[in-house]
Each structure stands twice: as structure tokens, then as C-alpha cells.
Structure 1
Amino acid sequence: MERLEQYDVAVVGGGTAGCAAAAGAVMTGARVVLIERNAYLGGEATHSGVGAFCGFTTCGKNPVRVVEGAGNLVLEELEKLGAPAQNRLSASGNWNISFQPEYLKCALDHLLQKLQADLLLHSLVIGAQTEKDRICALTCADDEGMFTIRAKAFVDASGDANLVRLAGARFSWGDEHGQVQAASLPFRLSGVDITKDMSPRAVKRAVDQARNAGMKHLPRESGFLLTLEGSQMVCALIPSVMPEGLFARELTRMEQELREQAVSYALALKRYMPGMEHSELVMIGPSIGFRETRKLVGRTQLTGEDVLSGHKRADGIARGGWKPEIHRNMTEMATYLAVKEGSWFDIPLGALQSETLENLYGAGRMIWADDTAFAAVRVMGTCFATGHAAGVAAALRARLGQTPCAEKVREELQKQGALI
């Protein structure tokens, strides 16, 4: 018997962007399904262990809030679970929101349950059926076999533009030269005295000592340690590798190499960094964290000039406030491009719309942006905002039967508490 389900909007990928897209579409009145291949939601925030949301505010010591809406609903669910997120000034001089990844998994579950969005975990999208200039159905697989999901509009929030590729829509790999930013595999340590110096400078001193002592698998000179007030747990963002594709063999190579690095860095910190003497490695990953892979080719490209000048626009459907953070060198810390303190920019609706398929929207780190702009919009706080907008746009597309204008999307987002 054929397994067939029908919806107004189908969202592929349950990271921050995908969850926000599902929430936005449901609150617009659509019947929604969210398809996720992992056992839980959260994307890089949970299965890569990145315990901090960047981009909810502008950069600098006096931040301005630029993301609310669906992102704020998630923060509220964390609060209800007794694990409130903490607004912290990071070692880079920017504010981020630190959280506990295990609680985030439940917070996202609770939000989608409350909104009554259908959720399919352990489900792979393996094909897309198209008719002329639109997608009409997805071919999916689980442990019982294949099934079909039909919908009127679709959101690709896979991070890697997987639906875009399967549907035959245009995409690019990395920047105009085919280069991508380094990938990472965070790991967590317990038993850390966070009252000691946890700065990148302290990490570098420890790594230098370890290298001088002959330790191997330490390619990056330093990295960030994410802390939570009152906790002895830290998340280390250090192991790095440069992706060359998403084939199984390449993914296997990267995962194994990064795990080797994580074990080496954990030992180096334990031996040579004050405050780490009693630390224990408690978790690696469990999955590689990508910064950049495939990107949707959209109708309007967000540019570095838009970001650096704080460009405001009538077709803006989300705000971005993170300054460009570029990880091109696998051995060194990120490069940051300066922006005016408190400055934010608008993200146009066209950056989320497929150039070639009229009922396909992209969200998160795969939206259409040039190299500099991408380095500012790929962070998870901004992914909440673009996901929310993509979900609303897709729901309006499903209701109207045609592509909604930016004004209608903006109106609905404002009703749902988004900052526009």
C-alpha cells in the first residue's frame, strides 16, 4: 500500500531555521510537516554541540536586539524547562545566547507540539517530483520503506540545500570560486574551573605547549571555549577541517579526522591549560558542524555592501546583526570584518526564493548571499529569522496559489512578533 500524506507546507530540516519555518507556517494557518533525518531537532545546536546562538543582537558591547518572533518562542520554552538561556559577552567581544543543548532538544519538541506541526524524525528526503516550475511532492524513506509527501509549498532548511539539489533548482558550492569555510566538530569537557582564563589566548598557550611537546593532530592554533555561568562544563570550538564535498567517503574522512583532533585537543588542554587539570571529555559532536556548503541561487542576492552599510530595504523580511565572521584558514582563528556598533541590515525576500522553482524557499545558512554577506547571515540567531520568514512566505504561497509580495510577508511576520 502506498504511503501518501498531504500538507500545505513541507519543511525539510529541523535545525533552528527549519523549526522557525514550521512555526511561522503554522501560525499563518497552514498544515505543516517538518521532516528531519536525525533523532532530534536543533541541527548544529544539538548534534554538533554548538551551545550558543549568535545573531540575536547586533555586535559590540551595547547590543541592539534584531531577532524575536519564532526565535523568542524557543527561548521561552527553554525558560519553562528551567534551563534559561544566558546572554553572554564572548571572547570575540560580541554577545551571544548560551544554552544547554540537551534542554534545547525538548524545548523544540514542546514548541512544535504546542503549535500542532507534524514532525517526522528518522526520515530522509531522497527525491523530489517537479512539474514545470514547481515542486509537487517529496519521496522520503524511513526504516519501513519509502513514502510520499505532497504539499503546495516547500522550505529547504537542510543547511546543505539538499532539497534544492534534488529538485533540480540552481545552487552553488561555497563562494564564486567554489571555496567554503572550514567545518568543525565541537566537543564538551566536564570538571572545568571556569573562573580561570578561558580565553582564546589561554587556549593558544596550551596548544603551543602541546605542539612543542610533540603532540599530533592539533592543526588549529586556538579556538573558543563556550561557558555557562555556574557550570563546570565547557564546549570547545577548535577541531577544524576543510570540506571538499558531501559524499559518504568525504564525510567519513572528515568525521574521523575531527574526532582524532578532538581527543588530542582535550588531552592538550587537560595537560597544559590552568583550570583544565581535572577535565574529562564527555562528548564529541556527535556530528560534523558545517559553516558553508551548498547555497540556493535566489532571486535577490544579499551583498557584503548591504551588510557593512546596514542597508534597510522595503522588501526586507528579516534583520541581520552579526558582523562577517570568516573561517577560511583552517589553522587560525576567524577573521572578523568591522561594522558600526549597533548596526543591522535587512535581508530581502528574494534571497529566500528559488530563482527557478516558484514554490521553493530556502532558509538558514543556505540563503542567496555573496561571500561577505554569507559570513554574517549563517549564524543561528539569524537562521531563526530567515526560517521564520521562509515559513510565512511558503504558507502564504500555499494559501494564495501564487508568490506573495514582500509586503504581505512582512505584515504576517509582524503579527507573529518578528522584528521587521
Structure 2
Amino acid sequence: MKTVMKMLVVLVLLSGTAVAFCSAAEETRTFVDDVGREITLPVKIDAVSPSGPLAQIVLYSVDQDLFVSVSSEFTDAQAKYIDPRLLTLPVTGQFYGSKAATMNPESIMELNKNLNIDVVLDIGEAKETMKPDLDDIQSKTGVGFAFVTQNKLKEIPGSYVKLGELLSRPERGQELADYVSALLAEFDTGMKEVGDNKKSLIYVTAIDGNSVSTIGKGSYHAEVIDYVGNNLAKPATTGGPGDEYTMEDILQLNPDYIIVGYVDGHAYYNTIMTDPMWRSLSAVRNGNVYEAPYGPYSWMGGPPSIQRLLSMIWLGNLMYPDVFDYDIDERVKEFYSLFFRYDLTDAELDDLMVYAKPAPASASAQATTQAPAPLFGVLAGLAAAAAVAGRGRNR
């Protein structure tokens, strides 16, 4: 009898051990990221740290409640659109890019004592060294690092499906993927209708006297403007803020549309609209100068992430209203609600798009009347630019 009891006790203990082992096994899973790394993760993800600004933007669109840290602090202009909880979170820094040194293993390890990070999320374009880089910091910190590719517009739907799997939010990932897929299909159809009748444009990111920075064609930052228009800028030679042109170069390009980046006080936009040299351009005379909206990020990029979809929606309707015939206000509000979980008021939308919509007909007529005569203005502008360039060469 005693022998039987002992055997029962052993069986119970073994059974308990087996259950505990199975439970532990069920609490983790293996995820393969987009550079082929196998990462052991919790089945349920609740605590995520973004590795940089791209990851921060995209993670926010999936589930803002997942954040336990941010890669960088939000500016005052961004903060109004952001969940207030995120404004109080610790900053873990950036792993890649110009601020890569701000993320280091020691700080991650220290923060993780309190944050219990499930995974550090990295998003963008896969680099040759990414696999060993991520393996190295993961081994040093003991925290899982996962990379998901999201570089070109066409990669966004697949990236959301992958993120849904990674972050244990499959339904949300699929919802966002479906929206983007439908949007890209809509624009593929529309741009085929536009065909060879694309409007010419330039995207001005900075103005400093006779120096003008524009985004060159073929760059990551130019993907949307290359797609919806005929980007007159030469092929990109630098990244970031764009390539440098002289005012004489801009006058010779003479685009149909000028898109200008936002800065405080609308400084670049105001320069274009008031400077006599700029006003000799047909885009200015015809009222086709528009400032890219900013909030919580520039719609054109900076960094170039999912908000570029907004710029596509905006520019398509702006330049080809007969093809992309929809209410731009409704589409923008829909995007903010879906991706930023923010319901824009009419007043907020008007503020965002203050220089992003065509002016009333009366205002356009007045601007045309006040602008210099086309031929005289262009000749005067070219002469002035040549004089400035000449002074520079003679110094």
C-alpha cells in the first residue's frame, strides 16, 4: 500500500512538472523578422520600445498603448496630437541614423529593469549590417530586437500584416494593411488615367537667399512626388533635406506646382509668395504654391513614413481633382482617426491646411494681377540671379 502511495505521489509531482513545463512553453513563441533572425518573444506583447522615429510613428498607428518608452521626445507641435501618456515616458534613443549613438546597451538594460520590455521594434530599410548589429545589441541587453521592412509605399501593407503578427495584434495589422492596399490600388488606377499628363512640380525644403533646397527625383524622400507628378529636380545626390539649387536654376525649371515644406511662421511659403524673383514663376502667378501640412509630422516626410500616404491623398486631389474626385477634408479626417486615433475638428483641419488648398477665385485673380508680367518677370529674375551668382564667383 505504501508503495502504491509513493508511486501516486511521484506521478502527481511529475504531472505538475509537465503542466508547468507546458505552460512555460506556451508563454513564448518564435518570431522570424525581416532579416531572418529568429527571436523568442512572449505570446502576448504588452511592452514595446521603438528604436527610432520611423518605428515610433508606425508603432503608434498600431497601438499607442504598447509604448513603454519613446525614441525621442515629442515637440510642442506634435504633442497636441499624441496620447498624453507618451509625453511622460522615458527616452531610449535611436539605434540607426544620425542619432544612433543615443541608444546604447547599458541604458536599455537599466531601463528594462523597470519597463520589462517585450521587444524593441526597428522599422525601415534593411541594411547589410543589420542582422549582426541587432544580434549584438540583443545579446548585450538580453532584450529581443525585431526588424520589419517598411521602405517603399508598396511595402506598407505587408509590413502591417507582419507587425500584427509580431505585436500580437493581427486584426489591427490587417485593418491598416487593407486600408493602404485599397488606397494604393485607387491611386494606381487614377495615375493610369492621368497617364502622360502629369503636372510638373518641385518640392522645396529650404530657402536661404539665393540657395534653394529641393528633393531630387529617385530618392526615398521623393517617392510620392515622383509618383503623382513630374518632379523637375535632377536625380538626388544627397538624402535628408535635399539638393541645393540657385534661384536661377529654379527660374529655369519653372514648374506647374511648387510644394514647400513647413517651418515656423510659414517662412518659406511667405518668401515664395512675396519675393519678386519667385513671383515671376508661373506656379506663383497661377496660385499653385502650396505648403505641406505639418501635424503631428510633415505629410511629405521628415521622417518619410506612413504620413506620406496623406501627401498622396492631398496632392492627387490638388493636382488632378477630376481624377481623384473626393472630399479632401473627409479623407484627411478618416486618416487621422484610423492611423493617429485623433478626431480632427473643422478648425484644426483648417489650421493644418491653411496654405494647402486652392485659394478662392477672387484671391487668385488678385494675386495674378499683382504679379509681374510673365516675360518681364522671368527675364528680370534671371538677370538678378545671374548677378548674385556672379558676385559669388568674384569673391
TM-score range (shorter-chain normalised) is: under 0.3
Larger radius of gyration: 2
Structure richer in strand, relative to its length? 1
> Taking structure 2 as the reference length, what is the TM-score of the superposition?
0.26
Structure richer in helix, relative to its length? 2
Query: Which has the higher relative contact order, 1 or 2, with Cα contacts under 8 A spaced 6 or more apart?
Result: 1
